[in-house]
Structure 1
Amino acid sequence: MSITDLQAQTLPASELARLDARFPARDVAVGGGAVVSVRECGQGPVVVCLHGIGSGAASWLDTAALLAPQACLIAWDAPGYGRSTPLASAAPTAADYAERLDAMLDALAIRSCVLVGHSLGAIVAASAARKDSSASARIRRLVLVSPAVGYGAAGRIDDRAKVRAERLATLDELGIAGMAARRAGRLVSDGASEHARQWVRWNMARLNDHGYRQAVELLCNADLLADLPPPMPVRVACGALDVVTPPAACETVARRCGVPLELVDDAGHAGYVEQPQAVAALLREALAS
């Protein structure tokens, strides 16, 4: 492993201590011997946050700390991420992830929440919000941040095959640590702070090979737009400088939901890591509505 790859896996000791103190991880049993690893901060109405394909629960630390006086933010490590048990299928669907999410909400006795999905997490969140989903009755508002739409639509066969091949080839060539060292910078804007860059690299370096491969299948086979609009109020936001799910693509999602796209200034794809104050303010508004 190169020096650069090793650097991708490190955070300052002070940041690791802050994470453990403010946003500790714990395992929640969800039945059948499976667990979901969650992090929790704050008190009050519940905000549940779902990370994207190259991240994890810890990425929500700064947003959670800013919201702590007004809300309890709970972030999961998706199935196959962190200590969370992977799903059984090699190619799980959005509904499979949503079912595991519902089991987590049930285990935590959450009856009502604002559900936030970032990037790939937006695909899971929208599936959980469907009228026919057992989780939907618990969701009073949906917030989609830089949503990925997936490649499962009928007209995207070629794109689907290309994305699957490229993602898996990169993983096979570089490994998790190498992928984090070389690719994480794409998740933030050119003007991002070193603090934000360290966090996106560290989160990506902690991915699990099997869980990431399952998530690639979800990305390739899902169709977010088919699950929209949700049967509850929704907001759609995007980093103004996002090059992964750019504003034009997110505008399509917002239009399908019948709402305006909200831009997070000076932010790339991982907008809640790069500009947590702005995303925390958006979530406060969603809680107050």
Structure 2
Amino acid sequence: MNDATVIPHAALAPSELARLDARFPARKVPVRGGAVVSVRECGSGPAIVCLHGIGSGAASWLETALLLETDARVIAWDAPGYGESTPVASMVPTAADYADRLHALVDALGLESLVLVGHSLGAITAGFASRPGSPLAARIRQLLLISPASGYGSRAADSARVRQQRLAALDDIGIAGMAAQGDRRLLSAHADDTARQWVRWNMARLNDSGYRQAVELLCGGDLLADLPPAMPVRVACGALDIVTPPQGCAEVAAKCGVPLELIADAGHASYVEQPQPVAALLRDVLAA
């Protein structure tokens, strides 16, 4: 039964948590400036670096990562202010702040070549890091944007409205309240109970201050201004996504000069809900 009221929002079977820690373990990577970035990693081969959205974390990539562990070294970060990652300094950060932390992580891991994946808000960081002239662009061999959030930086009225709505929800119901209902928007009716539990579990682990910074990134970011990127790109979206619907993602794809690729039977968190087609897409990216 896919009823969010039946299963406690933060509950996961102990076997699922044990599998996460055993197969996709977390570690803290020291980076320049005295900061650390928490990452989860598995597999070996060409590097794939995965950036999550505003309501998630590194652990959300578990199923996709395990499907790819014989093909690639899959690295998922907890964005600045998420998990045990050091937040960026500004409480009103820009994409440049997050991209600089990403660059520091890539340096610390010694990655000379990688595929970069940006989901939702992560696409804003990925887009800035991949733009022509970026110091990281030469090391990104391919870019994949999944359900990209374009940001509201060019739309002042929308930016103010979204900031007010997001921060009001945080103040009114808190992280726990947001987590209890998060799967209703992030997943489609096709999602199973395990996917719903993972979405709630990841959201329940948000940090208040890190989330507030991420809201500012969303409201001030402008992905379209950084496109097209300096390397080959593919743009995908869950066919049933109601957060960044296909028509909006199609605008991002058009700016990149590529077709939008739809992921069937998937909502916004497509890689949680339908990891097999997302992993297949990434295998195609690696082959290219």
Task: Please give the range of the TM-score, normalised by the shorter of the 2 chains.
Answer: over 0.9
Query: Any idea what SS the aligned residue of 1:142 has?
Result: strand
Question: What is the distance in 2 between the residues matched to 1:6 and 1:267?
Answer: 21
Structure 1 residues without counterparts, runs of 5 or longer: none
Contact 1:5/1:180, CA 8 A, preserved across alignment: no
Contact 1:239/1:264 (CA < 8 Å) preserved in 2?
A: yes
> Which residue identity lines up with residue 30 of structure 1 in the other structure?
V
Question: What is the TM-score when the length of structure 2 is the normalising length?
Answer: 0.97
TM-score, normalised relative to structure 1: 0.97
Q: In structure 2, what residue type is equivalent to 1:288?
A: A
Give the equivalent residue in structure 2 for 1:169.
168
* Conserved? CA contact 2:151–2:218, under 8 Å: yes
1:98 aligns with 99
Q: Match of 1:40, SS?
A: strand
Correspondences of 1:253-268 after superposition (within 5 Å): 253-268=252-267
Q: Is the 8 A contact 1:55 1:200 kept in 2?
A: yes
Name the CA distance, whole Å, in 2 between partners of 1:221 and 1:5. 37
CA contact (8 A) 1:47 1:116 kept: yes
Deviation of the 1:138 alpha carbon: 1.0
Structure-2 separation of matches of 1:184 and 1:213? 20
Name the CA distance, whole Å, in 1 between partners of 2:64 and 2:189: 21
Is 2:124 the counterpart of 1:123? yes
- Segments of structure 2 that go 5 or more residues without pairing to the other structure are none
- Which residue type is aligned with residue 127 of structure 2? A
Q: Once the two structures are aligned, what percentage of the paired residues are identical? A: 70
Tell me the SS of whatever aligns to 2:133. coil
* Aligned residue number for residue 235 of structure 1: 234
Q: Which amino acid aligns with 1:114?
A: V
Residues 5 and 177 in structure 1, CA contact (< 8 A), matched pair in contact too = no
Q: Per the alignment, in what secondary structure is the counterpart of residue 169 of structure 2? A: helix
1:232 and 1:64 map into 2 onto residues whose CA distance is 23
SS of structure 1 residue aligned to 2:93: coil
CA contact under 8 A between 2:96 and 2:125: conserved in structure 1? yes
The one-letter code matched in structure 1 to 2:145 is L
The Cα of 1:5 is off from its aligned counterpart by 11
* 1:182 Cα deviation from its structure 2 partner: 2.1
Cα distance change of structure 1 residues 229 and 30 upon mapping to structure 2, 3 Å threshold = same
Aligned amino acid, residue 208 of structure 1: N
The answer on whether the counterparts of 1:43 and 1:68 sit within 8 Å (CA) in structure 2 is yes
Q: C-alpha separation between the residues in 2 aligned to 1:76 and 1:179? A: 22
Contact (CA 8 Å) 1:238, 1:269: kept in 2 or not? yes
Letter paired with 1:119: S
Match runs of 1:18-57 below 5 Å: 18-57=19-58
In 1, Cα distance between equivalents of 2:38 and 2:205 = 14
Structure 1 distance, partners of 2:182, 2:66, is 27
* 1:190, distance to aligned residue in structure 2 (A): 1.4
Which shows bigger deviation, 161-170 or 4-13? 4-13
2: distance between equivalents of 1:238 and 1:274?
12
Please tell me the residue identity of whatever aligns with 1:233: P
Write the distance in 2 (CA, Å) between the matches of 1:202 and 1:269: 16
Map Cα deviations across residues 194-239 of structure 1 (whole Å, 9 max, x no partner): 1110111110000000000000000000000000000100000000
* Whole-angstrom distance in 2 between the partners of 1:116 and 1:183: 22
Q: Which amino acid aligns with 2:84?
A: R
Residues 251-282 of structure 1 show CA distances to partners (whole Å, capped at 9, x for unaligned) of: 00000000000000000000000000000000
Aligned match of 1:159 = 158
